[in-house]
């Protein structure tokens, strides 16, 4: 190959050209690193500051909207309010922390949002019925350009203004990264020009090692700067500063792609949260229509939001009977609720396939495999209107109440241990028992969130209070029983946030009014506490060994 020295006959000229090329290459490498550092800084702000700040602000707006909706709903929304100051306080603290490293305008707008939320919550705590509309007024878009402080409109206006500012800052950083990428492209084009000058020295080598890779990188950078993050990856075997620059561009493209995917997922998650929560609640509380001759009623009230660790259901069976069940996963919240959905599906599939009650509970035990810190209690009862019988299995659950037509109460005793993945569950672990069920008798299942719920003084609601409510029912129907028990718990001022409270009631037919008098509560396997003239006391039955 001809050399530059051979063409010019001057060693000095060769040295000068090589030196110029080396200097140009060094300058391009340094500038590329500087641009990359600026790009990383801007991309870091997008990923670690503006994105989380927008998410936290969205959470504040959502919490404020939920509190406003619950407040405007009056008594019907009282149970949904929660503690708005605590809920929004955490998001505001995180938002201030993110804003501390931002510019002065962002910090001032963030402080305005915090003050508006604080004044609004203070006003909401003192607001009566007459001025409730002013505190919970329409958003700023409908209330005017200068809403009064201490109102929801002011909170909405401040949050909207801050959201717009955060979006502008994010757009500025995105534009900055685009300019950095364009700068890299321009400097690489400059390098290409320098390499063209060096083509006199080694045209073939220059074409193979520099010009072609530089053109490919420029094309990838153009695609990346235009928003296409799917450009092909660089050849990992490429060496030298151009290879490093290409790999750095690949890393930048990957970060941009991850940021784009994360932003899209965040937006989709915000859209899905509400329907997902409502859907999970509907699954946990859903009941099939019972079989002929059976009436049922029930509800699940979660300690946190709408997702509970309790699950209930009604399943009509092929032989004309109807199965009802109520379970309680330890704990409450989202984790317990997701497990409760899975266990409810297991119970319903087992019942629909005609499995025995013990088999259904054992299937739940198998579904708990791997959940070492979780367990469940469960009661499954089958009502047979043709034979007038009630058959049940009780896996460590709160003993259900059986109200007879004369107003007396019996309890359906446990027939086996709780369902825990660490306890063995051979066949027969959970036995079944039966008793007579006449028209007008009422079966009521509840979770311990009702009986162990405490009022403001620390006193438990208690089983005796439940018995008193059931014995005094004027209309001993399933719906009346569930409604009356929840009303009694509300009057008792039970702490609803302490545990989930769920009720399920079933009966063969319309019940007759109970005779007046104090409630009689019977325990064990539907055995009365004292002798009865019309019901002989059966001998006690041995319970299965839970570890057998």
8 Å CB contact between 522 and 410: yes
Q: What whole-number distance in Å separates Cα of residue 410 and Cα of residue 404?
A: 8
Higher per-residue pLDDT: 484 or 269: 484
Give mean pLDDT, residues 424-452. Answer: 94
Instruction: Give the 3-state secondary structure of residue 443.
Output: strand
Residue showing tokens 């290459």: 25
Q: What whole-number distance in Å separates Cα of residue 148 and Cα of residue 151?
A: 6
Residue showing tokens 């003993």: 399
Report the pLDDT value the prediction gives residue 519, as an integer from 0 to 100: 46
Reported confidence tier of residue 16, pLDDT bands at 50, 70, 90: confident
DSSP labels for 382-422? EEETTTTEEEEEEESPPPPEEE-TTS-EEEB---B--B-TT
Give mean pLDDT, residues 334-355. Answer: 93
Structure tokens at 244: 């490093």
Of 501, 495, 525, whose CA–CA distance to 312 is shortest?
501
Strands 322-329 and 310-316: antiparallel
Reported confidence tier of residue 419, pLDDT bands at 50, 70, 90: very high
Q: What whole-number distance in Å separates Cα of residue 124 and Cα of residue 103?
A: 32
Reported confidence tier of residue 172, pLDDT bands at 50, 70, 90: confident
Give mean pLDDT, residues 172-196. Answer: 75
Q: What whole-number distance in Å separates Cα of residue 229 and Cα of residue 513?
A: 73
Report the pLDDT value the prediction gives residue 135, as an integer from 0 to 100: 61
Report the sign of the C-alpha dihedral through residues 510, 515, 517, 521, in that order.
negative
Higher per-residue pLDDT: 395 or 3: 395
How far apart, in Å, do the first and last CA atoms of the chain sit? 90
Rounded percentage of the chain residues whose pLDDT exceeds 70: 72
| pLDDT of 533 over the 80 cut | no
| pLDDT of 147 over the 50 cut | yes
Instruction: Kindly report which listed range (166-175, 276-285, 439-448, 490-499) carries the lowest average pLDDT score.
Output: 276-285
8 Å CB contact between 383 and 321: yes
Give mean pLDDT, residues 347-367. Answer: 95
Q: What whole-number distance in Å separates Cα of residue 318 and Cα of residue 29?
A: 78
Q: What whole-number distance in Å separates Cα of residue 355 and Cα of residue 54?
A: 51
Report the pLDDT value the prediction gives residue 225, as an integer from 0 to 100: 65
| Dihedral pair phi/psi, residue 403, rounded to 5° | -95, 120
8 Å CB contact between 475 and 511: yes
Report the pLDDT value the prediction gives residue 78, as an integer from 0 to 100: 59
Residue showing tokens 């083509």: 199
Report the pLDDT value the prediction gives residue 540, as an integer from 0 to 100: 40
Give mean pLDDT, residues 389-417. Answer: 95
Report the pLDDT value the prediction gives residue 1, as an integer from 0 to 100: 47
Q: What angle do CA 64, 68, 70 make, to 5 degrees?
A: 120
Q: What whole-number distance in Å separates Cα of residue 287 and Cα of residue 462?
A: 27
Average pLDDT taken over every residue of the chain: 78
pTM of the model: 0.48
8 Å CB contact between 466 and 524: no
Neighbours of 41 (CB within 10 A): 13
Cβ within 8 Å of residue 92, ≥6 positions away: 56, 60, 113, 114, 117
| pLDDT of 334 over the 90 cut | no
8 Å CB contact between 382 and 392: yes
| pLDDT of 6 over the 60 cut | no
Instruction: Kindly report which listed range (239-253, 476-490, 515-529) carries the lowest average pLDDT score.
Output: 515-529
Q: What whole-number distance in Å separates Cα of residue 503 and Cα of residue 324?
A: 11
Reported confidence tier of residue 210, pLDDT bands at 50, 70, 90: low
Structure tokens at 402: 């059986």
Widest CA span in the chain: 131
Question: For residue range 305-314, what is the model confidence (pLDDT) as tens digits?
Answer: 888 889 999 9
Give mean pLDDT, residues 197-211. Answer: 63
């Amino acid at each position: 190959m001809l050399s530059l020295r051979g063409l010019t006959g001057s060693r000095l000229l060769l040295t000068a050209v090589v030196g110029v090329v080396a200097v140009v290459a060094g300058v391009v490498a340094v500038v590329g690193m500087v641009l990359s550092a600026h790009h990383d800084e801007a991309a870091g702000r997008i990923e670690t500051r503006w994105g989380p700040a927008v998410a936290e602000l969205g959470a504040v707006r959502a919490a404020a909207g939920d509190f406003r909706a619950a407040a405007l709903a009056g008594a019907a929304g009282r149970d949904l309010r929660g503690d708005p100051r605590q809920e929004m306080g955490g998001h505001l603290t995180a938002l201030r922390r993110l804003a501390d490293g931002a510019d002065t305008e962002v910090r001032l707008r963030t402080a305005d949002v915090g003050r508006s939320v604080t004044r609004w919550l203070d006003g909401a705590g003192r607001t009566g019925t007459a001025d409730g509309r002013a505190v919970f007024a329409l958003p700023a878009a409908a209330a005017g350009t200068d809403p009064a402080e201490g109102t929801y409109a002011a909170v909405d206006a401040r949050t909207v203004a801050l959201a717009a500012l955060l979006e502008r800052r994010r757009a500025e950083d995105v534009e900055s990264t685009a300019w950095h990428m364009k700068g890299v492209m321009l400097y690489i084009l400059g390098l290409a020009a320098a390499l063209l000058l060096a083509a006199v020295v080694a045209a073939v080598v220059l074409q193979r090692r520099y010009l072609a890779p530089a053109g490919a990188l420029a094309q990838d950078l153009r695609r990346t700067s235009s928003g296409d993050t799917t450009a092909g990856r660089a050849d990992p075997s490429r060496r030298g500063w151009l290879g490093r620059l290409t790999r750095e561009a690949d890393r930048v493209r990957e970060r941009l792609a991850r940021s784009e995917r994360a932003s899209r997922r965040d937006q989709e998650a915000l859209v899905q949260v509400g329907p997902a929560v409502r859907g999970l609640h509907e699954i946990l509380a859903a009941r099939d229509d019972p079989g002929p001759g059976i009436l049922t009623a029930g509800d699940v009230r979660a300690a946190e939001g709408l997702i509970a660790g309790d699950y209930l259901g009604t399943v009509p069976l092929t032989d004309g009977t109807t199965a009802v069940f109520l379970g309680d996963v330890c704990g409450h919240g989202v984790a317990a609720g997701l497990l409760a959905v899975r266990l409810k599906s297991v119970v319903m599939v087992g019942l629909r396939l005609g499995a025995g009650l013990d088999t259904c509970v054992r299937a739940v035990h198998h579904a708990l495999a791997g959940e070492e810190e979780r367990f469940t209690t469960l009661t499954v009862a089958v009502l047979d209107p043709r034979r007038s019988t009630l058959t049940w299995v009780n896996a460590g659950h709160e003993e259900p109440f059986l109200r007879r037509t004369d107003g007396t109460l019996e309890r359906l005793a446990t027939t086996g241990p709780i369902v825990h993945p660490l306890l063995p569950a051979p066949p027969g672990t959970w036995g079944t028992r039966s008793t007579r069920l006449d028209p007008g008798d009422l079966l009521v299942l509840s979770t311990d969130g009702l009986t162990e719920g405490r009022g403001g003084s620390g006193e438990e609601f208690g089983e005796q209070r439940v018995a008193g409510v059931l014995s005094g029912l004027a209309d001993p129907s399933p719906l009346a029983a569930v409604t009356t028990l929840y009303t009694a718990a509300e009057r008792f001022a039970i702490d609803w946030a302490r545990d989930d409270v769920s009720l399920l009631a079933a009966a063969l037919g319309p019940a007759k009014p109970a005779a007046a008098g104090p409630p009689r509560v019977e325990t064990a396997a539907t055995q009365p506490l004292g002798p009865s003239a019309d019901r002989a006391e059966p001998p006690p039955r041995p319970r299965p060994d839970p570890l057998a």
